[in-house]
């Protein structure tokens, strides 16, 4: 039987006794500690290597949603405890497994534990996160379980496109009229609505074997719900809140790196959907801006190898960017690698010509001349 190490987080301590009462007959939950301070909870999760975090949502200083965002990447499952059902959709934004309405009842707690057992059937002790689903949309669309790629074969091109439209909306949703206007713009509204219903049905059928992916269609609004899934776009969205308003420093550099590490190419790079272009461009700009800020921080802190790594990745995807080219050259020079610096400029010049039909700037030419002269 699977035994789950649990941390309970609630600013109202009387709820701890209620939770323990609900859990007393559930043999596979081991309550490691109860924490009333959500900031302390982050450390307790790491200390006990918790499998599950049951957390209240409305708490002062750091609410449950924000706590869950801080725990992204930790080896734990999030289950929210709330007295307000309107938090349900927000809960899934941070990949929570489920939520339980307060006061916690034994039947509801057992339901959630059974659900975890169902999703991780081979688990012997602790959460087997090797079984966790990972979804990538930066670069090509990819789905993995246990580091093994899952091949998904959509029944129709429209059901595939519908899935991407809904997936990129997570944790939000899309209304019927918008979906119909984009996917079947040349059809009468009734015919388009019928096609949407059929495509949505086919989509659910295609992904029915992946229990962590759910679907909702209520009151003319459609959504994808991700349960305990590592989703690269969710990681980027979470980090973006801080990145767009702060400069990189010691306290937040990990968030900048979350964005940089998640980026493996333009959003759904092999898909030619017109509606996707503005969003793709938005995240390209975010990656470029974040990379520059991280590289500047590492350079200022004399961590040149980290700056070099960031700039190499940036230049790999955007070799025509002059600032990336010149900063990478400087990083190579600090490492005493002038050959790579010269090669970088040649790649930049070539990409400008082939991709944009442009010539290098005066600054780039001067940099190449200086490097060439110093090499001989």
Give pLDDT, residue 163: 97
Mean pLDDT across the stretch 226-248? 92
Give pLDDT, residue 130: 45
Q: What is the second-level CATH architecture of the domain 4-131? A: 3-Layer(aba) Sandwich (3.40)
270: left (phi over 0), alpha (psi -120 to 50) or beta: alpha
Model pLDDT for residues 137-146, shown as the tens digit of each residue: 999 999 998 7
Put simply, whether the predicted model's pTM sits higher than 0.75 gets the answer no
Model pLDDT for residues 355-371, shown as the tens digit of each residue: 999 999 999 999 999 88
Comparing C-alpha atoms, which of 105, 111, 154 is closest to residue 271? 154
CA distance linking residue 93 with residue 172, whole number of Å = 8
Tell me, yes or no, if the two domains 4-131 and 240-374 fold the same way.
Answer: no
Residue corresponding to tokens 């495509």: 199
In this structure, the number of other CB atoms found within 10 A of the CB of residue 133 comes to 21
Secondary structure (3-state) at 101: strand
Mean pLDDT across the stretch 14-37? 93
Model pLDDT for residues 26-56, shown as the tens digit of each residue: 988 999 999 999 999 988 998 888 989 999 9
CA distance linking residue 191 with residue 182, whole number of Å = 14
CA distance linking residue 234 with residue 253, whole number of Å = 18
Above 80 in pLDDT, residue 92? no
Percent helix, strand, coil in the chain, to 5, is: 55, 15, 30
| Tokens representing residue 369 in the block | 């001349």
CATH of domain 240-374: 1.25.40.10
Give pLDDT, residue 240: 94
Residue pair 222/200 in contact (Cβ under 8 Å)? The answer is yes
Torsion of CA 36, 37, 39, 44, to 10 degrees: -50
Mean pLDDT across the stretch 304-308? 94
Domain ranges for the chain: 4-131, 146-226, 240-374
Q: How large is the greatest C-alpha to C-alpha distance in the chain, in angstroms?
A: 79
| % of the chain exceeding 90 in pLDDT | 66
Listed ranges 22-31, 44-53, 61-70, 286-295; the one with the highest mean pLDDT = 286-295
Give pLDDT, residue 126: 45
State whether CATH 1.10.10.10 applies to domain 146-226. yes
57: pLDDT confidence band, cut at 50, 70 and 90? confident
131: pLDDT confidence band, cut at 50, 70 and 90? low
Give pLDDT, residue 30: 92
């Amino acid at each position: 039987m699977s035994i789950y190490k649990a941390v309970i987080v609630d600013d109202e301590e009387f709820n701890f006794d209620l939770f323990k009462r609900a859990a007393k007959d559930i043999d596979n939950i081991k309550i490691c500690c109860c924490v009333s301070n959500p900031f302390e909870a982050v450390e307790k999760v790491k200390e006990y290597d918790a499998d599950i975090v049951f957390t209240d949502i409305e708490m002062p200083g750091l609410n449950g949603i924000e706590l869950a965002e801080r725990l992204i990447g930790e080896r734990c499952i999030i289950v929210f405890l709330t007295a307000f059902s309107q938090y349900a959709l927000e809960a899934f934004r941070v990949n929570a497994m489920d939520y339980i309405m307060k006061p916690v009842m034994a039947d509801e707690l057992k339901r959630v534990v059974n659900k975890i057992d169902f999703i991780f059937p081979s688990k012997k002790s602790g959460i087997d996160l090797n079984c966790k689903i990972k979804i990538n949309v930066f670069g090509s669309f990819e789905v993995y379980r246990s580091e093994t790629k899952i091949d998904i074969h959509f029944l129709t091109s429209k059901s595939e496109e519908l899935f991407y439209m809904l997936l990129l909306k997570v944790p939000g949703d899309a209304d019927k009229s918008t979906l119909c206007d984009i996917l079947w713009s040349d059809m009468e509204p009734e015919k388009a609505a019928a096609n949407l219903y059929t495509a949505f049905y086919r989509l659910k059928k295609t992904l029915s074997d992946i229990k962590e992916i759910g679907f909702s269609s209520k009151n003319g609004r459609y959504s994808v719900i991700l349960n305990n899934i590592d989703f690269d776009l969710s990681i980027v969205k979470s980090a973006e809140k801080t990145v767009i308003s702060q400069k990189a420093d010691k306290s937040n550099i990990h968030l900048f790196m979350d964005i940089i590490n998640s980026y493996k190419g333009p959003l759904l790079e092999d898909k030619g959907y017109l509606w996707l272009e503005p969003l793709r461009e938005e995240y390209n700009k975010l990656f470029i801006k974040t990379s520059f800020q991280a590289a500047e921080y590492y350079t200022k802190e004399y961590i040149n190898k980290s700056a070099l790594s960031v700039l190499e990745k940036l230049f790999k995807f955007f070799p025509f960017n002059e600032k990336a080219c010149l900063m990478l050259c400087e990083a190579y020079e600090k490492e005493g690698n002038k050959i790579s610096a010269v090669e970088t400029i040649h790649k930049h010049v070539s990409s400008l010509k082939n991709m944009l039909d442009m010539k290098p700037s005066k600054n780039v030419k001067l940099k190449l001349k200086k490097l060439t002269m110093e090499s001989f």
